[in-house]
Structure 1
Amino acid sequence: MDLIEIGTALREGREQKGLTVEAVEEKTKIAPSVIIALEEGNSARFPHAVYARGFVRSYALLLGLDAQELCAHFSREYPVPKDNDQSESHAPHIHVKMHDSGSVVTTVRIAAILGILLLGALGWYVFDHYRSQVPEAPAPVEEELTPPAPPAEVLPSGSLPAPMTQMQEVAATPAEESAADTVATSGEALNATAETPPPAEQEVAPEPLQAAVKETVVEEVQEAKTEQPAAAEPVRERNLRIVAHSASWLQARPDDKILDYFLRKGETATINFSKSLSIKFGNAGGVKLELDGQPYPFEGALGEVKTLVVE
Structure 2
Amino acid sequence: MSIGVTLAAARNAAGMTVAQLSGRTRIRETVIYAIERDDFSLCGGDFYARGHVRNIAKTVGLDPDAVVHQFDEEHGGVPLPVRAAAVFQAESQIKLRERRSPNWSTAMAIALAIVAVFGVTRVMSRPGENLATGAELKNPPAPKPSATLRASTHPNAARPASDLVTLRVKANKPSWVEVSDDKGKAMFRGTMRAGDSSTWKTRKHMKVTIGNAGGVDLEVNGKHLGVPGKPGELVRKSFGPEEPGSR
TM-score over 0.5 for the pair: no
Greater gyration radius = 2
Structure number with the bigger relative contact order (C-alpha 8 A, sep ≥ 6) is 1
Higher relative helix content: 1
Q: TM-score, normalised by structure 2?
A: 0.35
Higher relative strand content: 2
Q: TM-score, normalised by structure 1?
A: 0.29
